[in-house]
Structure 1
Amino acid sequence: MPATSVQSSLLGAMISLLLTTPCSAVVESADYPNDPRFYSQWGFEQPNDADVDVLTAWEMVKDKPQSEVIVAVIDTGVDSTHPDLVNRVAPGYDFVYDDSNPVDMLFPHGTPIAGIIAAEKDNDYSVVGLTGDMPVKIMSLRVYSTLELLGLMPVSAASRAQRLESAFSYAIDNGANVINFSSAVALSAVESDPHLKATVESLLKKAQDKGIIIVAGAGNSGSLNPDYFPYQWDRPNIINVASINRRGALAADWDQSGPEPRDHSSYGAHAHLAAPGTELESTWPSNDLLDITLFSPDSDNGTSFAAPYVTAAIAMGLSVRPDLMQSDSPAAALNNILTLRKALHLGVQTTPELQSTVNGGEPIVVAGGFLKLPLFLENLGIRLSERNGESITTYPKSVVRAQEKGGAFNPYGGVIRLEYENRTLVADGTQSHDDHGILRYEWDFGDGHSAQGAVVEHTYDRTGTYYVTLKVMDGEIDPVTGEGKSDVSAPQRVEVLPPEYDFVKIRYKANGEGFAQEGRMLSGRIDIRKIGSLRRIRGTSQFLDENNQLVKVSVTTSFPVLGLVAGNIAFSHPNFNRSVNFATINPVSYDASTNTYSLKVEEMELHFTEKTRR
């Protein structure tokens, strides 16, 4: 992403803080990582299949010999103390402060890029990187400082370009096998300096002669024409990546049909393929403290974050095909680069949109699709050993569309939240596909219940979080199971929300003062979260008393620990206000006959009655 785009998209967040080609996933019992935010990394796996199918890719490489790969990340620096990165870094350099500690604990750019590529897998922390547990290391080469990108320290484009020259030289001379370059220097700064232009061209040729591919974002102009280096440098070892959104569409209004949320991507003949580039989940500086998504939700977008998907793919391919890192001549190195380029070009899921053209024939993206890791690996000759080397394209693909009954389908996916009074899920598998036709649809709703059929409904009995999967099977014989070839979808997360309580009674008596009111809630909600026999009450609402005066009630309690519950009860009325902090044993009770929960703390009583229509 260009430096100016980095600055404009992240400045608000920092200030706030400081203030159709099918690809099949043939994983029968997916070995999901234990990293808790993996389910939010939609670009890795999601039910609608607009992702890179990382689980199948991991299966394809897990039993193969693997060689170490060094990925140079030329960017803002990387937080090498992050628990997901501390074991994944190689020696690097800081060309801003001229030292060997290229760590940035503040600016959230280089660190999330490194996380997409190589965040540690199965360490029970945060996210995971696309390369999983493969021996891939990050060489951080810092060329930007936080103060510069926030506009607090002036620096010329030429100075940045000279730092870039030094960073590329370091990467080439110190063992980098692939370079991720998501922060670009203005092309005009290079073009206007003949010496610098010649130097950069020489470095690009030197990288090519060593078989090193440079992966960059295609730009964030949201338009056709790129204007930043290296997008217009037509060299075989440069790959530019456009962004898709969660529904698999180009993240740009290229056909003027109307903008979508988070549009930003440049496109055109300089964009070789696309990859996920919106709603980022990754590592953030200072152990995720500086997660820009918490402060500026629209900042987690950019081709900066699409590029590392392709960088990671190349690293995976090089690790299991180390011959592509070896060459005894520039011609052999170029042949290795072209092998990888061809695999990337063929390793995509094509879509009609991404195959479209503009301006009389210029492609949206050259490959006509977005990255699918298993297809890329297959085009490098890597197959699933346990499937007798059969192509993954001979397996069906499970695709899930789900929604609340009576609700609208959200094409951007994400968590489905069911209101308690309408906790019925409609699950649709008709978008699943197979070249021989699908014979069986088997649903698992994550609550011990299952069903068969292309479209089914399921009503949940209780509140909670569930993961829904669909297994589809065709009529071809799987060489391992002896049954039909099958595929299991990525899990669809479903949250059944707690019931709302719409009738409340308040009683208070202390020191001769008394207050007793009741009424039907007008706004807000009071949630009672249940985990087994444990209860937690939380929420704020308002109701009208018998004199038509507004009463506001707010309550927060913890889950009990050895019976002890802490919290606060507060209410306000034109004539009476109280707030009580408490820590007491077992203050919550339930009366099944009236469907009422009661919270009694010293002089305060609150009674919540569930809506009678349930």
Structure 2
Amino acid sequence: MDKLLHSHGAATAGEIENIRVHRITVPEHALEQVKKALSKNPNIQFVEENFIAESGYVPNDERYSSQWHLPMISAPDGWDLTTGSPSVPIAIIDSGVDSTHPDLAGNLIAGYNFLENNTDTQDVLGHGTAVAGSAAAITDNITGVAGVAGDSPIMPLVILDANDYATYYDIARAMNYAADQGVRIINISIGGSSYSSTLQNAVNYAWNKGAAIFARAHNYSTDTPYYPAACANVVAVSATTSSDTLASFSNYGDWIDISAPGAYILTTTRGGGYGNWNGTSFSSPITAGVAALILSANPSLTNAQVVDILTQSADALGSTRFDTYFGYGRVNALESILTALGAAPDEDTIDPSVAITSPQNDTTVNGSLTVSVSAADERGVDRVELYVDGELFDEDITSPYSFFWDTTTDANDTYELVAVAYDTAGNSGQSGVISVSVDNVIFKDTGALIVTISSHKDGASIGDLEKVQASASDDSGISRMELFLDGELKAVKYKSELRWNWNTRKLSKGAYTFSVKAFDTAGNEGIETITVYK
């Protein structure tokens, strides 16, 4: 069966053994050709498509009937296939989230507060709680409202203050943080009218780590670009109404990628309640929620595929396939999920680029230093390994990639450094060879190693319980101390002091010899031996 399917570019995806039915995946462009070929094979009884049955699923959330936007984007039909996944969190870069809200508390994972530089992510404004509920309020819990991706966790990242302002610097930091945590869906319902290289660089970093970023178009009814929505590699979302028209407040322009409901959106509010909100701030997380459904349905997809599926599965609302009000159209959850389920992984054969940026070639180093490596890949870098003279030295999974090298533990010599980067598809790229010379002043230990047994003197008498104490000193430091009783090792300490409790109660009368031996960091040793009597 596998050989037959492989010859047609298909693959087994499941089996119902008792009725001998196989589920297979087929490249979309070859669907009809494969169906026809397999139907003519005498070993196959029938071939049919894996048809979709719709239940018209309605969640039991008490205020779901007031959420007009969810049926509008075909979310209930999409939920028959997926409701999100715990492995596909959504980062909400905003004012925080009410951690006690009954429709959100169970869906929150640890985030970060970039205003206070701590882990307190309580909502300081109220905006973030409403945004989070639009994307991923807990669904089917007999409480409040439903979120688009109710089974996807929410990571709150606080950058918007109580006065409704955020800096580009904090937005950029939050994007990088989410990407470094492996979050692949990021929502930013904030924006400004000034272009920023800082924002674009942060977007590129997150995109290269595999994240899809969504941002509101803003609410000034203008075609002026707002950022980060208008940044490259960000999905800019405009707002639609219940009649599938552009909301009067929504921005528009040729920088818009897609549209989603954004007028009179019932969602969660700070303090445990619910309210209706207007704005592209809600179109964006609704779209991010659909993206989470896409990735939940097919985790193998790249961020580029997720965005492509979103835009190509949208319902066109303009007079052309793409226009300046709706982009490629209004999001459609069901069509997006169906497309995701049938999508084959986008084969990645491009190696990541990698270079050692510090130290420079043909330089001399000493002491401790940091080896810095730059690495990039269009699908995201998985890890970077550093090799010293062909031997694996260490690996780093987080950008910026750096390696601490204490050269004092190595001989003065010339060493070759090479970095290897791996992308998420397993492709690897290798840097050029960096040759460095290690030149450290070699410390010669000429001082005497002194060992002192301070608790007993030679020839002393002992009682029933003795505490043996000893110390050692040396110019280069003590690495280890050992205590022997009549030649038998009794205690080892990896410092310059040694204590040992000696139970002598059952010992017979006579002489006992114990020795304390110490070793310095240069490998020298010293010893003191005494004899005591009972």
TM-score, structure 1 normalization: 0.45
Amino acid of the structure 1 residue aligned with 2:118: D
Instruction: Tell me the equivalent position of 2:94.
Output: 75
1:58 aligns with 2:79: yes
- Mapped pair 1:130 → 2:148: yes
Distance 1:354 1:302, change over 3 A: farther
What secondary structure does 1:349 align onto? coil
SS of the residue aligned with 1:74? strand
**1:484-499 residue pairs with structure 2 within 5 A?**
none
**Post-superposition shift, 1:323?**
1.2
Structure 1's 356 and 267: CA in aligned 2 closer, same or farther, altered over 3 A?
A: same
**Matched ranges for 1:61-210 at <5 A:** 61=82, 68-104=87-123, 107-132=125-150, 134=151, 136-146=152-162, 148-149=163-164, 160-187=167-194, 190=196, 197=197, 199-210=198-209
Q: Aligned partners of 1:111 and 1:247: how far apart in 2? A: 26
Counterpart CA distance in 2 for 1:44 and 1:323 is 26
Is residue 73–residue 180 contact of structure 1 (8 Å, CA) maintained in 2? yes
**Tell me, which stretches of 5 or more residues in structure 2 are unaligned?**
1-50, 344-534
Q: Equivalent of 2:229, from 228, 231, 242?
A: 231
1:351 alignment partner in structure 2: 317
CA contact 1:271–1:364 (8 Å) conserved in 2: yes
The equivalent residue for 2:299 is 322
Offset of residue 98 of structure 1:
2.0
Q: Please report how far the alpha carbon of residue 272 of structure 1 lies from its aligned counterpart in structure 2 after TM superposition.
A: 0.7
Change in CA separation of 1:116 and 1:26 when aligned onto 2, cut-off 3 Å? farther
Do 2:176 and 2:202's aligned partners in 1 also have CA atoms closer than 8 Å?
yes
* CA deviation map 1:255-294 (0-9, x unaligned): xxxxxxxx21111211111100000101110101xx554x
Match of 2:285 in 1: 308
> Which residue is equivalent to 1:365?
326
Counterparts of 1:161 and 1:352 in 2: how far apart (Å)? Answer: 33
- Pair 116,382 (structure 1): closer, same or farther in 2 beyond 3 Å: farther
Q: 1:42 to 1:96 in 2, by over 3 A?
A: same
- In structure 2, the CA distance between the partners of 1:98 and 1:58, relative to structure 1 (3 Å rule), is same
Q: Which residue of 1 aligns with 2:369?
A: none
How big is the shift at 1:337?
2.4
For each residue in 1:374-413, what CA deviation from the matched residue of structure 2 results, as whole angstroms up to 9, or x when unmatched?
1111222359xxxxxxxxxxxxxxxxxxxxxxxxxxxxxx
Q: Who is 1:276 aligned against?
A: 261
Describe the SS at the equivalent of 1:73: strand
- The whole-number CA distance in structure 1 between the counterparts of 2:183 and 2:56 is 32
Q: 1:92 to 1:310 in 2, by over 3 A?
A: same
TM-score for both structures, normalised by structure 2: 0.52
Match of 2:59 among 33, 48, 52: 33
- The alpha carbon displacement at 1:169 in A equals 2.1
Q: Does 1:248 align with 2:248?
A: no
Name the SS for the 1:350 alignment partner: coil
Paired residue type of 1:242 = S
Q: Does the CA-based 8 Å contact 1:348-1:370 persist in structure 2?
A: yes
Structure 1 residues 267 and 28: alpha-carbon distance in aligned structure 2, compared to 1, 3 A threshold: same
- 2:431 match: none
Q: Secondary structure at the match of 2:154?
A: strand
1:364 counterpart letter in structure 2: Y
**C-alpha separation in 2, matches of 1:375 and 1:201:** 30
- Whole-angstrom distance in 2 between the partners of 1:371 and 1:113: 17
Cα contact 1:187–1:230 (8 A) shared by 2: no
C-alpha distance in structure 2 between counterparts of 1:175 and 1:187, whole Å: 28
Q: Residues 182 and 30 of structure 1: is their aligned pair in 2 closer, same or farther, counting only changes over 3 Å?
A: same
User: Is the contact made by 2:57 and 2:77 (CA closer than 8 Å) also made in structure 1?
Assistant: no
Contact between 2:115 and 2:161, CA under 8 Å: does it hold in 1? Answer: yes
**Aligned 8 A contact 2:229 2:237 in 1:** no
Q: Distance in 2 between matches of 1:53 and 1:94?
A: 35
Post-superposition Cα deviations, 1:22-41, rounded to whole Å, max 9, x if no partner, equal xxx98754332111110001
Once the two structures are superposed, the pairs formed by residues 458-607 of structure 1 within 5 Å of their partners are: none
C-alpha distance 163-122 of structure 1, shift in aligned 2 (>3 A): same
Q: Given the superposition, is the C-alpha separation of residues 343 and 96 from structure 1 closer, same or farther in structure 2, using an over 3 Å criterion?
A: same
Amino acid at match of 2:174: A
Residues 1:306 and 1:347: Cα distance change in structure 2 (over 3 Å): same
Separation of aligned partners in 2, 1:125 and 1:67: 20
2:54, 2:296 → 1: CA distance? 25
Matched, 1:337 2:340: no
Q: Provide the rounded CA distance (Å) in 2 between the counterparts of 1:26 and 1:247.
A: 27
Alignment of 1:209-228 (within 5 A): 209-226=208-225, 228=226
CA-based RMSD of the aligned residues comes to 2.4
**SS of residue matched to 1:69:** coil
Larger Rg: 2
Partner in structure 2 of residue 286 of structure 1: 271
Paired residue type of 2:341: G
Check whether the contact 2:96–2:156 (CA below 8 A) recurs between aligned residues: yes
Unmatched segments (≥5 aa) in structure 1? 1-24, 46-50, 150-154, 191-196, 252-262, 294-299, 325-335, 358-362, 384-614
Deviation at 1:60, TM superposition (A): 2.1
Displacement after TM superposition at 1:67 (Å): 5.8
Q: How much has 1:97 moved relative to structure 2?
A: 2.0
Local SS of the residue matching 2:81 = helix
The answer to whether 1:377 aligns with 2:337 is yes
What one-letter code is carried by the residue in structure 1 that aligns with 2:144?
S
In the superposition, relative to structure 1, how do residues 38 and 27 fare at CA in structure 2: closer, same or farther (>3 Å)? farther
- Judging changes above 3 Å, is the alpha-carbon distance between structure 1 residues 27 and 80 closer, same or farther for their aligned structure 2 residues? farther
Contact between 2:239 and 2:246, CA under 8 Å: does it hold in 1? yes
Contact 1:269–1:365 at 8 Å: present in 2 too? Answer: no
SS for the counterpart of 1:310 is: helix
| Structure 1 position 354, deviation (Å) | 7.2
Distance 1:292 1:143 in 2: 23
Letter in 2 for 1:365: F
Percent of matched pairs sharing the same residue: 29
State the shift of 1:120 in Å: 0.9
Q: 1: CA distance between counterparts of 2:76 and 2:131? A: 20
